Copies of this chain bind each other. A is one copy, B any other.
């Protein structure tokens, strides 16, 4: 794996995971891989961040878990987006775009 990604993840992790699940149910390990692949390795989620985040979101009923089998036949816990989670994703995405948009504009001011 490349270099250190720092703590910029803070505040965007939930949205990223929800977004990943919006393309269909996935298990934890697969979520991390999907994010890494679709961000050119820029987004690397540590397991110590991912699993607690998944519990958090399950508690808030944004996602639902179910045990199943991975593509390789292993025991794996699949998460799928709930309706509530879909609304949350929309809200967080909008919030992220407007806030980080503002940050980006300030940082790039001449």
Q: List residues 15-57 of chain A with CB under 8 A from any CB of chain B.
A: 15-16, 19, 35, 38-40, 42-43
Q: How many residues of A contact B (CB 8 A)?
A: 33
**Is A1 in contact with chain B by the CB < 8 A criterion?**
no
**Is A10 in contact with chain B by the CB < 8 A criterion?**
yes
The answer to whether B35 touches A106, judged by C-beta atoms less than 8 angstroms apart, is: yes
**Interface residues of A, dominant DSSP:** helix
The answer to whether A42 touches B6, judged by C-beta atoms less than 8 angstroms apart, is: no
Partner of A100, one of B19, B35, B93, B104: B104
Number of copies: 2
In Å, the complex CA distance between A103 and B108 comes to 18
**Is A97 in contact with chain B by the CB < 8 A criterion?**
yes
Partner of A8, one of B6, B19, B96: B96
Mask, A79-110, CB within 8 Å of B = 1, is 00000000000000101111111111111110
**Is A70 in contact with chain B by the CB < 8 A criterion?**
no
Partner of A6, one of B7, B11, B93, B101: B11
